[in-house]
Structure 1
Amino acid sequence: MRLEVRHLELVVAIAESGSLRRAAAQLHLTQPAVTTQLKRIEQHLGGALFLRSTDGVLATHTGTEFVRDAKKVLDLVTDLERTARLNARRESGTPFKVGGIPAQHFSLLVDALADAHPGQEVTSRTVRETGTLTALLGSGELDVAVLRRFPGFPVAPPAGVEQRLLLTEPLFVGVSAGHALAGREDVPLAELADEKWVMPDPDDSGMNEYFARTCAAAGFAQDIAHLTTEAHVAFSLTAAARAVCVLYPIGTARDGLATLTLEGNPLYRELVLAWRTDSPIASMVDELCATVEQRYLCLVATSEVYARWWRRGGADFALPRPS
């Protein structure tokens, strides 16, 4: 017998789950099969890796050392596979396929990938629908995507896809430059109770329902007078004092508008990076997230209102804390 990767995976699964039964379920094997395989491994090594009891298993000293080194080997194998896939992709000319909502993090991700791998083609497409993006990731038509997530509306990634929070982004409110609240900061949401709103068409992100719930929690029913997916239309209606609109903190020119930050940040969205675990992207996630965050911080400084909000404690709200 020679030790194989599957043997290492089995021993690590037993150690991490603390039970032969749970390890079997994790590995999609029967418990007798796991027990038999573990006995063969222990016989091959010449000593017990685990002590059995009615409550589960406990690693012996030999087992603890073995599991520690097995994890190192498995990490090396994972890196080996990802590097080989990356090199094969480069040689075959297969591009990195990026998707996402039309947001700053999407373009920053495309740029970060292109800069990190200048000899590798990067293709991209923007998609508003969350379900479409996750389906494209699941089918392999995308390697990585930037998704949005609203409180109360979780995003369930398909099998083989992982996700990570990039940023919690506050949502501000745009009013006409002549509005009575123009120039105010940290306005209570309740002060907008009598306003008419222009909102995007409802979609599967849950944004519109989330806004309605949040307004209701502030004591009023949101009065939506206009629906449009075109930002310039929303801005024109707002500048003409026909409505108030949602404003992302960084964006295009907004002539005739004033930006209101909201007290307590009741409206926000989470920007999430999702990637296929079998893609070369998987080995780059830490590096990509760090680069995207660094470049996003540079953009914060270009928005006067956002920069002030950021300095008043906004950074603690926006940036994910290390776990």
Structure 2
Amino acid sequence: MILMRLEVRHLELVVAIAESGSLRKAAAHLHLTQPAVTTQLKRIEAWLGGPLFVRSTDGVLATHTGTELVRDAKKVLDQLADLERTARLNTQRESGTPLKVGGIPAQQFSLLVNVLAATRPRQEVTSRTVRETSALTALLGSGELDVAVMRRFPGFPLALPTGVEHRLMLSEPIFVGVHEGHPLAGRDEIALAELADEKWVMPDPDDSGMNEFVARACAAAGFEQRIAHLTNEAHIAFALTAEGRAVCQLYPIGTARDGLATLTLEGNPLHREIVLAWREDSPVASAVDELCREIEVRYRALVDTSPVYARWWLRGGADFALPRGA
């Protein structure tokens, strides 16, 4: 009687044979010779007491016993892979490997960094702001980032790589800034169509789709957006607006905007979605619920620091901004 014990390599061998349908292909996949695979399979079958595969001129086909063994072997191999992944993550945590955070320059980005630093005081947190959606996606896919705050505009979905999950955190309205002497400056809320005759200052178009989204919203309101100035510097956009040369987009929470009046828009036709994206194998994957809750609490505190945003939030804006069930 052959004395042996099933090992991981034996499970890998029978799975490789079943998936390839050929001893030759399985040998190539396992970097073994075909005679070695054949000999090892015979030993396994002798130990188990019956054939696992039926040989033919076209390859091999699993028997009933072989099918059940392959099914269970895959489960065991998957469990071992999970065990190794968890062990590696625990080792990384203990060895002080930093958490790598990326994202657009939005409030949620700094809040995420602060929350991670507060909840994981013994682990270093590194961060970098990245405006380009494709760059953030690539960094997450390669493992250069563990987690990122991203933006998404209606009609322009995110294409995230395998192994990266995401969750909507907030639908953030985009307001409009006009100079303090503008005829609309005394209004709290206007229709987007009331800006039909205005010139706009906008950032350079990028791969987020923001510029096209705004143009589409203006077209839906019955006019063609006229862009007179392009700049990626907020202070320049604010200065041009304060001088009455254009109107600009305003995110509800931000830096000082001297000389500007902030207008909210009826029906919130301009908005962006703030999304948290993370690698499934990152240390933060198991703490996403906690992170999102804490970020929301801190973001709500910031809402009260902006009088216009606070009024918008109280008159029904919260229902628009927060995901259902939040």
| TM-score bracket relative to the smaller structure | 0.7 to 0.9
> CA 1:218–1:34 in 2, change beyond 3 Å: closer, same or farther?
farther
Match of 1:216 among 191, 216, 219: 219
> CA 1:298–1:162 in 2, change beyond 3 Å: closer, same or farther?
same
Partner of 1:62: none
> CA 1:315–1:34 in 2, change beyond 3 Å: closer, same or farther?
farther
| Alpha-carbon separation, structure 2, partners of 1:164 and 1:227 | 31
Q: CA deviation at 1:35?
A: 7.1
Given the alignment of the two structures, is residue 281 of structure 1 paired with residue 295 of structure 2, yes or no? no
TM-score (norm. length: structure 1): 0.77
Q: CA deviation at 1:38?
A: 6.1
Q: CA deviation at 1:94?
A: 1.2
Q: CA deviation at 1:36?
A: 5.7
Q: CA deviation at 1:248?
A: 0.2
What secondary structure, in the 3-state scheme, does the structure 1 residue paired with 2:248 have? strand
| Alpha-carbon separation, structure 2, partners of 1:280 and 1:82 | 11
| Alpha-carbon separation, structure 2, partners of 1:34 and 1:281 | 43
Match of 2:151 among 141, 148, 151: 148
Q: How does 1:167-182 map to 2 (within 5 A)?
A: 167-182=170-185
Partner of 2:192: 189
| Alpha-carbon separation, structure 2, partners of 1:137 and 1:293 | 23
> CA 1:284–1:83 in 2, change beyond 3 Å: closer, same or farther?
farther
Q: Which has the larger radius of gyration?
A: 2
| Counterpart AA for 2:269 | P
Work out whether residues 183 and 259 of structure 1, in 8 Å CA contact, stay in contact via their aligned partners in 2: no
Match of 2:204 among 201, 205, 228: 201
> CA 1:33–1:130 in 2, change beyond 3 Å: closer, same or farther?
farther
What secondary structure, in the 3-state scheme, does the structure 1 residue paired with 2:100 have? strand
Partner of 1:244: 247
| Total equivalences in the alignment | 267
Quote the RMSD (CA, aligned, Å).
2.7
Q: CA deviation at 1:86?
A: 4.2
| Counterpart AA for 2:206 | D
Deviations 1:230-277 (A, max 9, x none): 000000000011100000000011111000000000000000001010
Deviations 1:84-138 (A, max 9, x none): 4443123322100000000000000000111010010000000000000000000
Work out whether residues 150 and 206 of structure 1, in 8 Å CA contact, stay in contact via their aligned partners in 2: yes
What secondary structure, in the 3-state scheme, does the structure 2 residue paired with 1:197 have? strand
Partner of 1:20: none
Work out whether residues 82 and 279 of structure 1, in 8 Å CA contact, stay in contact via their aligned partners in 2: no
* Identity among equivalent pairs (%): 72
Given the alignment of the two structures, is residue 88 of structure 1 paired with residue 91 of structure 2, yes or no? yes
| Alpha-carbon separation, structure 2, partners of 1:300 and 1:81 | 43
Q: How does 1:61-76 map to 2 (within 5 A)?
A: none
Q: CA deviation at 1:185?
A: 2.2
Given the alignment of the two structures, is residue 234 of structure 1 paired with residue 245 of structure 2, yes or no? no
TM-score (norm. length: structure 2): 0.76
Moved more, 88-97 or 157-166: 88-97
What secondary structure, in the 3-state scheme, does the structure 2 residue paired with 1:280 have? coil
Work out whether residues 169 and 318 of structure 1, in 8 Å CA contact, stay in contact via their aligned partners in 2: yes
Q: Structure 2 regions of 5+ residues with no counterpart?
A: 12-60
Deviations 1:11-35 (A, max 9, x none): xxxxxxxxxxxxxxxxxxxxx7697
| Alpha-carbon separation, structure 1, partners of 2:235 and 2:257 | 9
| Alpha-carbon separation, structure 2, partners of 1:224 and 1:166 | 30
Q: How does 1:94-133 map to 2 (within 5 A)?
A: 94-133=97-136
What secondary structure, in the 3-state scheme, does the structure 1 residue paired with 2:141 have? helix
| Alpha-carbon separation, structure 2, partners of 1:201 and 1:311 | 33
> CA 1:37–1:215 in 2, change beyond 3 Å: closer, same or farther?
farther
Q: CA deviation at 1:184?
A: 1.1
> CA 1:33–1:191 in 2, change beyond 3 Å: closer, same or farther?
farther
What secondary structure, in the 3-state scheme, does the structure 1 residue paired with 2:272 have? strand
Partner of 1:13: none
Work out whether residues 186 and 264 of structure 1, in 8 Å CA contact, stay in contact via their aligned partners in 2: no
> CA 1:87–1:34 in 2, change beyond 3 Å: closer, same or farther?
farther
> CA 1:314–1:211 in 2, change beyond 3 Å: closer, same or farther?
same
Match of 2:271 among 261, 268, 273: 268
